Amino acid sequence: MLGMFGGAMGQLYLARSLSHLHFRQVLFVCVLVGLLCASLTWGIIRDRPDYLSPTDQKEGSEQSSMRIVL
């Protein structure tokens, strides 16, 4: 979703900013926006195995994380 949004919206703003700024400045801004998006994505999206309940995830004990529900 973020890739499609960036591709659709980036064309317009990239062309406008390239007409007013140097390409290195525009590239630097693109890098900053990409790092911001990556850090937000890393901080928000969590991948938890299905066999762990939310309480097991908070406890952090090895015994609870090794339990497998069949």
> Could you read off the pLDDT tens digit of each residue along the chain, which spans 70 residues?
878 887 888 888 888 888 999 999 999 998 998 899 899 988 888 777 666 666 655 555 555 555 555 5
Handedness of CA 35, 37, 38, 40 (dihedral sign): positive
Residue 33 lies in a domain: yes
The whole domain housing 32 covers 20-44
| Whole-angstrom distance, CA of residue 67 vs CA of residue 14 | 50
How many domains are contained in the chain?
1
Residue 14 lies in a domain: no
Residue 35 lies in a domain: yes
Residue 63 lies in a domain: no
Residue 40 lies in a domain: yes
pTM over cut 0.85: no
